[in-house]
Structures are given as C-alpha cells and as structure tokens.
Chain A
Amino acid sequence: MSVVTLTIDNQQVTVPAGTTVLEAARKAGVNIPTLCYLKGINEVGSCRICVVEANKSIQTACVHPVSEGMVVRTNTKRVRELRKGIFELIIANHNADCTICARNLNCELQRLGKELGVETTPYLKSYPEEEEIVSPTIVRDNSRCINCGRCVRVCDKVQEAGVLAFNGRSDKMFVSTFYDAPLEELSCINCGQCIVNCPVGALKEKDQTAEVWAVLNDPAKYVIVQTAPAVRAALGEEFGMPIGTPVTGKMAAALRRLGFKKVFDTDFAADVTIMEEGTELLGRVEKGGVLPMITSCSPGWIKFCEHNYPDLLDNLSTCKSPQNMMGALLKSHYAEMAGINPDDIVVVSVMPCTAKKFEVGREELEVDGRRDVDISITTRELAKMIKQADIDFTKLPDEKFDEFYGDSTGAAVIFGVTGGVMEAALRTLADILSGKDLQNVEYHDVRGLEGVREAEIEVKEGLKLKVALAHGGSNIKKLMDQVRSGKAPYHFIEVMACPGGCIMGGGQPIVSDQVRSEIDVAVERAKALYSEDEKAAEYRKSHQNPSVKRLYDEYLKEPNGHLSHKLLHTHYQKRG
C-alpha cells in the first residue's frame, strides 16, 4: 500500500494514499468540525462545514483526498470566517429554538455554534414547528432538518430498508419518504437508526413519557416496569457517565423512585426465551422441522422478514420476544401469584429500541384480550423521566430488581449484544444434550462485531450445530439470500436488526459522529454487558435460573407445552 506524508497544522502525518484530509487529521488528533459526514455511510461533502486550507486552496476535508507534501491548515482566520458564514447559512433555514428541542445539549449543530463562537447572526428567522407523526414510532420535524442526508443513507445502505429519500433537487430539496407516504405504509422496520444518526432534532421517537406519568399517577393501576438488557449498558451516558458504564443498580433505584410498584427485569424473560427457543430448536432438529430456525427477539428483524422474506416466515422461531413473554407472564402467572387482578396491571417496558413501540401494538400480541405490554419507552425516554423527576442519577445507590421476575442469569444479560442470544442458547443446549453442568460457558466463536458470522459448535459428541449470525439490514440480506437459495447449511441463526445488536438500538442515547470517531461505542457497550455476565458468577445459564425453574415446575409445566404456547408463542404476517 502506498503512503502519503503531509502536514496538518504543522504536524507531519503519514497515511495511506486515498485517505481524506478529515481522516488524516483525526489520525493526527486534529479536530475538524463535521455535520453531514458519517464515516463509510454518508461521505458526500454537502454541508461544507469541514472546510480547511489545503495547499492554500479551500477544500472540504471530508471528501478531499490527501496528496504527498500537502500542507493543510485547519484554523486560519480565513477558514474560521468561512465556517462561521457556512454555519450562519445553515441556521438561516433552521428552526433554532434549542430550549424546546429534544436534542438540546446533545446536538451536533448546537455544539458547532458554541465551538465556532457564533453569538449573533443577521439571518435568524422564526419558524412554525412542522412536527409530523410519520409512523407509530417516529416523529419528524422538517423545520429542524439541515438536509445532511445521514438518515437517508443509513436507511438505505446500513439497513437496506430504503424508505427514506430526498425529494427534489437543489433549493427545493427536502427529506421525505418514498412517494411522501407515511412510514407505516412502507417497509420501514421502525429500527430508529435514522434517529440515532440524525445530527440534530429533526427526527425523534414518538414520545410516550406522558402516558407513563399518567398511569403512575393513577392509584387504581398497578404499574410494573421491565428493563431490557441493553438499557443498563447505556443509560448512564445520558447522565454524563463514560460510554460502557453498566448502571444496573442505579437504574433499579431510579425506577423505584419514579414510583413503579415492581421493578422487574426483561432478563428473566430472556432466560424463559432460551428454554422455549432451545426446546423448539431441538424439536425441529429431531423431528425434521423447518431449518434453519431463526431467532425472533428483534421486532425490527421480524418486520424486515415479513416485508422482504415472507417466504421464510416458517423459519422464524414462534417464540415471542422477551418483552412480550414478560408481559404475558406478568398478567397471568405473576398476577395469580401476587393476588392482583390482571386488569389492574399496567406493564411498561424500557427498551433500547423504537421498534418495540410497534411490537407492543401488534394485534396478535395479547392473551385473553389483554395486551402483553401496555407502553414501551426507550432508554432516552427513561432518562428524560429521571431528569423530569430531578433525580440525581449518578448519586443513586445500587439497588436490586424485585424478586422472582427480577431474577436472571448471565446468559440473559448478553441478549443485548449481537451473538448473545446464540451464546445463551448454546450454553443451555450443550448442558441439556450432554446431561452435564459444563464449566466452559463462553463461546467466543459467536462473539464479535463482524456483520455476518458463522460457527460450528459441538454440543454433544457427534452432534455439531452449525450456526450463523447477522446484524444490520444489509448483512441480514446477505445471509437471508443464502437461506432463501436453500444453500445455507445452518441449524440456527441469530438475527438482530440493528448493527451491533440492541446495545446500538434506535432507542439508545445518541452519540455524535465526532465521539464515535474516537470511541467504538458498540465495543464499549458490549463490554458492559459481558462484565455483567461475568459478575453473575452463580448462574450463567438460563436453565439454572431458580425462579425460571419454579415457573416451569409450578405453572408452565414444560417448555413448548400447552400453556407456553398460549402465553409465549405467536405467528407472523406476510407483508408486501
């Protein structure tokens, strides 16, 4: 590989030929502001805020390639004045009322204004808000859109849903959807990746915090909360804690202070999922059922499959997602055990995911006319509620989940990262098939962030399970095209709609592109979950969860049994 040496602000840097000035500068630790740039996804040079002087001429750093001996200056007077002018032109078309914007204090445009030291501008206008609910999960406000295109390209290239699009050209161009249709009419999978990649407050989730406050204030309601594994790996970021800090104990404490009657853990239902899904897989292998069997925990993936691979619906596990298993159990078994009328129970879920809001509303996900889950909020919405309640999160003590439905294993907590569901299943399957309590519980072959992975795992002598994993729409398509062609040799496939798995879900705290260029967020959040797994020294396998055992002994009787099918399994629909 040929290399190029250049100077950036008087520092010598050597980088591979073809590198952009921006990436070279980042390598040298020189900061250049960006707005439209998203590494590998949106490198179009449209906002021009990244201008620098390269050999004395003005260039956009994010697309301009380096050359031998190039002299780059990133902070001359000319550059600073230009950037200020560009910034002013951007906000001239922007509804910049930061104080009432969802992204206040976590906005790339706002931060830029501060960095550039812009305190007055001749161009600021006031705008009517253009808030539109474009789907059951996503709200758009084009008055705050800066036409950077990040959402469009993420939806197109990373998720391959391709339902967002620019409409028109030049000054008449605006961000829209395919034929300006509501997202719910399209094959949008509600993943929220457009939201977490928007640099400003133009896209956000449908906010349901007011609904949660309302039920918490209703004395007739018995409000139970459940939290998904990935939430604990990221919630702390909203309170200034370093990325990758697990905050399980503080989260439980905060939820109790918000007034939830019971603070339970979706991890419990993740353990139940392993019992159900593992049994289902063994059944399919032994009885010649449809293989490969594909996991069904990710509602983004389910909708992706329904739209793009309706011919593969029989490959999906019939298991509901842990969120919904949990809800169904709380309104049946738990209600009975605690002596509460299930009609008084309200189940709120806190999820790293916007697609969970859609899942909660799916008509088939109810039992005896009762919704499994009533309201689903994102990690960000929970953080908002904690702030609204003026709780000083970082100073909270570490508390525990409430008993029984708060009990879980190390296998459950890793559900939040790509490879985790697979690993949890392998831990249990290997024990069941060998009849032993195997000591080696870590399956490093299925870990990592590679988009499509495969492994062959000997779960008992003579039986090798062939498994594969994919996360993120474009990777999923590669794997599913193989399955469709009949050439996939696998028994079991884990799929998560978001790249990285739930830890990188569309409901998680938003990290700017600049921070992402320094920290691999997925790696750090994954570490938080693996560390929780290691801490759970006593039980790291789902079938060892004592409360799950009791649930089967006293109530469900057996995995995939009659009652399980009523409460914990579901079916899917073909969508065009």
Chain B
Amino acid sequence: MEGVVQNLVAEACAKHGNDSSALLPVLLELQERSGKHYVSREIAEEVARALEVTPGQVFEVVTYFAALSDKPRGKYLIQICESTACSVVGYNALLDWFKEELGLEVGQTDADGLFTLATTHCIGACDVAPAVRINNEVFGNLTREKVRELISERRAG
C-alpha cells in the first residue's frame, strides 16, 4: 500500500518538476487521480517528503484553495461560481436550485458519494453567467430545468 502511494506521488512530482514550486500542480494532479476529489493525509505526507516541504505547508495549500480538499468529495464536484458577475445574475437562485434538487448544503456530499455541492471563486465564465463547474466542465446560462437535467444525467451514470 505504502509503495502505491509512493509511486503515485513520485510520478506526479516527476511530471511537474521535483521542486517545492510544483506543489500546487502536483496536488491538483493527485486529487484528480484520487477519484474522490481530495488529497488524503497519506498522499499529503508523501508529497511533503518528496518535495522537501513540511507537512504543515502542504496542509495549508490543500485547505487554502477551494479547488483542493482535505476531505473526500463526491464523484461529481459541483462548484457554483460566486463571482461578482454570477452573483448579479442569479447566483442565489442557482445555488437554491442545486440545494433543493440535491438535498445538500454547501460543503456536503450525498450518501452515495456521488455529488458534492460547493462554491468557487470566479471560473472565468462571466459571459454565460450564472455558471457552474462540474468536475472539469463548465455550464452556463442555467435555468432550473437545465439544473435538473445536469443532475439526472449524472444520476443515470
């Protein structure tokens, strides 16, 4: 098991440069590969060792950026953009629709580990505000109907 973690981290570090300045891309990559959108404690420990930074420094980065998480998240990470552009054209309503459809509050993950509801800083989709990012895909000009679709498509797998 330990060997698996070591290899995974070594690979990510080799790809992004074995240097403390590569901390962020390395963590993003490892989170992506976790399948649960998070950086586990074991991974973080190994990253600290590999990039010669302290464990605390890794943890600060993981908890600082909304894109990273220290706790497991759902298969689909729903991040609603709370930037100025989105908030003036219906961010609040959008957030409520997702909350109601999913039965989740911000920061929560459903029991099946399928969806996590989160907010995010600007994702650069102001032209199609209000926008949401689900994993790596951005969806804009949303209506309640579209929100339902986005969710049911993913429920169906």
Residues of A within 8 A of B (CB): 152, 155-156, 160-169, 176-181, 186-187
Whether the pair B41, A179 counts as a contact (CB closer than 8 A) is yes
Instruction: Known A179-B44, A181-B41; judge A162-B56 contact (CB<8 A).
Output: yes
In the bound complex, residues from chain B placing their C-beta under 8 Å from that of A181 are 41
* B7: Cβ under 8 A from any A Cβ: no
Listed A/B pairs (26) with beta-carbon separation below 8 Å: A152-B56, A155-B56, A156-B54, A156-B56, A156-B57, A161-B54, A162-B53, A162-B55, A162-B57, A163-B55, A163-B56, A164-B56, A165-B57, A165-B59, A166-B63, A168-B63, A169-B64, A177-B56, A178-B41, A178-B44, A178-B55, A178-B59, A179-B59, A180-B70, A181-B41, A186-B55
Q: Which residues of B contact A (CB under 8 A)?
A: 41, 44, 48, 53-60, 63-64, 70
Residues of A close to B44: CB separation below 8 A:
178-179
List residues of chain B with CB within 8 A of the CB of A186.
55
Q: What's the minimum C-beta distance from A177 to chain B, rounded to whole angstroms?
A: 8
**Contacts A178-B55, A179-B70, A187-B55 given; does A165 touch B41 at CB 8 Å:** no
Query: What is the bound-complex CA distance between A160 and B70, given in angstroms?
Result: 22
Instruction: Give B54's nearest chain A residue, CB to CB.
Output: A162
Closest to B59 in A: A165
**In the complex, what distance in Å separates the CA atom of A178 from the CA atom of B41?**
8
> How long is the Cα–Cα vector from A178 to B57 in the complex, in angstroms?
9
A167 contacts B56, C-beta separation under 8 Å:
no
Instruction: Determine whether the beta carbon of B60 is less than 8 Å from that of A165.
Output: yes
**What B residues does A163 contact at CB under 8 A?**
54-56
User: A167 to B54, Cβ gap below 8 A?
Assistant: no
From residue B135, how far is it (CB to closest CB) to chain A in Å? 23
Cβ–Cβ contact B60 & A166, under 8 A: yes
Which residues of chain A have C-beta atoms less than 8 A from B57's C-beta? Answer: 156, 162, 165
User: With A and B bound together, what is the CA distance between A375 and B59 in angstroms?
Assistant: 34
The 8 closest A-B pairs by CB, nearest first: A162-B54, A165-B56, A162-B56, A165-B59, A178-B55, A179-B41, A167-B63, A165-B60
Distance A160 CA – B54 CA, assembled complex (angstroms): 7
Q: Determine which residue in B44, B53, B58, B64 has the highest number of CB atoms from chain A within 10 A of its CB, and name it.
A: B64
Tell me, in angstroms, the Cα distance from A573 to B20 when the chains sit together.
Answer: 30
Give the chain B neighbours of A162 by CB distance below 8 A: 48, 53-57
> What's the Cα separation between A163 and B59 when bound, in Å?
9
B120 → A minimal CB distance (Å):
13
Say how far B4's CB is from chain A's closest CB, in angstroms. Answer: 16
**Given A178-B59, A179-B41, are A168 and B64 also a contact pair (CB < 8 Å)?**
yes
Measured CA separation A169–B53 after assembly (Å): 20
Contact indicator B56/A178 (Cβ below 8 Å) = yes
